[in-house]
Structure 1
Amino acid sequence: MPFIKEEGGRLNNFAPDTKTYVAEPPTKQQKISYLVYGVAALVLVSGLIFVAYSASKVG
């Protein structure tokens, strides 16, 4: 672990450097998957809101 010695003999520790990388853009198949997941999530949330609204009107 890298460290430096400061005035008065104190040690100052630093976290190790992490490796960096360049992110790659999503492929066409990944974009389609994201779209399908987004639509499924929208349908699920809309259904839950509809059920909650319908249940609140029953009583």
Structure 2
Amino acid sequence: MYTTVNEDGILNNYATEPEMYYAAYPSPEQQNRYALAGAVAALFVTALILVAFVVS
């Protein structure tokens, strides 16, 4: 941790910054999993809305 002291004697602590890196483009398998997860989520939300309409 990096610490400085100003002229009044007050400490100021700075967190260490992590090393920056670029994200890797998802592989075709990961893209398929993301699409499947999105479809399941959309189906779940649609089912919740339909159940709410049926109950009310």
Q: What range is the shorter-chain TM-score in?
A: 0.7 to 0.9
Q: TM-score, normalised by structure 2?
A: 0.77
Q: Which amino acid aligns with 1:24?
A: A
Percent identity (aligned): 36
What are the within-5 Å matches in structure 2 for residues 39-58 of structure 1? 39-56=39-56
Query: What runs of 5+ residues in structure 2 fail to find an aligned partner?
Result: none
Gaps of 5+ in 1: none
Q: Which has the higher helix share?
A: 1
The code of the aligned residue for 1:44 comes to: F
Show structure 1 runs of 4+ deviating over 4 A.
none
Tell which deviates more after alignment, 5-14 or 33-42: 5-14
Aligned residues: 56
- AA of the residue aligned to 1:6: N
**Larger % of strand: which?**
2
> Which deviations, in whole Å up to 9, do the C-alpha atoms of 1:11-43 show, x marking residues without a partner?
433211212221101111111101101111111
User: Which residue identity is paired with 1:48?
Assistant: L
Larger Rg: 1
Deviation, structure 1 residue 5: 3.9
CA separation of 1:6 and 1:39: change in aligned 2, threshold 3 A: same
